[in-house]
Amino acid sequence: MAAANRTPTPNRPTAVLVDAYSTGNFLPPAFDRLGVDVVHVQSTPEPIAGMLAPDLGAYRSSLVCGDPAATAARLAALDPIAVGAGQEPGVPLADELSERLGLPTNGTALSAARRDKFEMIEALRRAGVRCADQVRAADAADAVAWAERRGAYPVVVKPLASSGTDGVEICADAGQVRDAAEAVLGSRTVYGEPNTAVLVQSYLAGTEYVVDMVCCRGARYTCGIWRSQKRLLGTRNTYDLELLVAPEEDVVADLIAYVGGALDALGIDHGPAHAEVIVTERGPTLIEVGARLAGHLDPGFHDECLGGNQADLTALAYTSPETFLRERAGRRYTRRLAAGVYASPTEQDGVVERIDWTVVKEIENLPGVYGVLLKLREGDRIRPTVDLRTSTMRVYLRAGTEEAMARDYRLVRELKDQVFQVG
């Protein structure tokens, strides 16, 4: 194992995190607060480019997995209490290592269905859970042929195993399907994996929701439900604002029950889950689900607005399952404040020559703004927004009333394009 910067603490138990990129960085401090050291396992020979890297200084040690059996043997010497995925690419390896070590595990039988979106929906279909029509196509011609045989547009074209609305297009005719499929097949996922096939699905008309849960021995706590407000940019439907739903709204019980059935179908009994669901005329229907933390997670923001956060609850479920089952199982979040997460779009195109920190501070000082995450630095390329990755900022909003939050949301929208000075 390659040593990281953290000195091991005697007599503390150890948990293992696989590919703790991005919001997975919130997991080490969550385990630390519960008195547990963490070891990091990287599933790929090289770090995954384009994702916020793990802070290895937060870990007792780290290693790169070449052979899962050998890695499991090395980890066994640490007598770990849990193995979990920090982000999407680590899900299959976390399943395998936890299974090999005899720890609480989602198992390997359905690992593919937790990463491959075609297999995911087929697992729901086999379990009798409402889902979209779909085809996995090896080339653009097969994608077009399926859409034409189906005879009902629009359809959705997307990669099999990416995220953040990467490569997702809503297509109104055969020509758009062909173009979208060719674009996917000629690219890689956000995790750097080649797209060797493309997914085409029936379009789900309705309101989109995000449902975040933590699972423990098959019991679940609902950390938060967010209503997604999106903007259609050409054939791409990109995130704009996610609004926290009051837990007493009628739709919440339906969403919790539906997502619970989807997680059962996918064998997700342990750890976090982040689901995207459309409530159609027929009822809630899954877009996709990841066995990992939510992408917009900010623990402090979630604690303030929801009375808890997915990272701390994940650590609790792995570290003290009896406590989790007693205090959280079958329950749901509270809504302490009106809350929203804004992904700011742009039409700017060029290189960021300067960030106007006066404008950033003006945004941060708005009473409804909890925090601002800039996604670009000086010298970075800025492009017109086509998906979640090409939004320029993430702004966390909360206020005592919906009206107050909406006012500051409008002010942020007015200021957003003054932040990045482009040449």
Confirm if 177 and 147 have CB atoms less than 8 A apart: yes
Distance CA 101, CA 98 (A): 5
The domain locations on the chain are 2-108, 133-202, 206-336, 338-423
CB count within 10 Å of CB 138 equals 11
What span, in angstroms and rounded, lies between the C-alpha atoms of 296 and 384? Answer: 21
Assign a CATH topology to domain 133-202. Answer: Dna Ligase; domain 1 (3.30.1490)
CATH class as words, domain 338-423: alpha beta
Q: Does domain 206-336 have CATH number 3.30.365.10?
A: no
Nearest Cα to 98, choosing from 218, 12, 16? Answer: 16
Q: Which CATH architecture has domain 2-108?
A: 3-Layer(aba) Sandwich (3.40)
Treating both helix axes as pointing N-terminal to C-terminal, what angle do 91-100 and 68-76 enclose, rounded to 10 degrees? 60
Which pLDDT tens digit goes with each residue over 118-157? 999 999 999 999 999 999 999 999 999 999 999 999 999 9
Residue 362 makes CB contacts below 8 A (sequence gap 6+) with: 415
Contact between 124 and 265 (Cβ < 8 Å): yes
pLDDT, position 1: 41
Q: Please report the pLDDT score of residue 6 as a whole number.
A: 66
Local structure of 328: helix, strand or coil: coil
Distance CA 147, CA 1 (A): 50
Indicate the pTM of the whole model: 0.94
| Cα angle 364-368-373, degrees, rounded to a multiple of 5 | 40
Position of tokens 């956060």?
Answer: 309
Q: If you ran DSSP here, which 8-state letter would residue 339 be given?
A: E
The structure tokens listed for 185 are 């097949």
**What's the average pLDDT block by block, 10 residues per block, for the chain (423 residues)?**
58 96 97 98 93 95 96 97 96 98 98 96 98 96 96 95 82 96 91 91 96 98 95 77 97 98 98 98 97 96 97 98 98 98 95 98 98 96 88 97 97 97 92
| pLDDT (0 to 100) of residue 3 | 42
Q: What pLDDT does residue 237 have?
A: 75
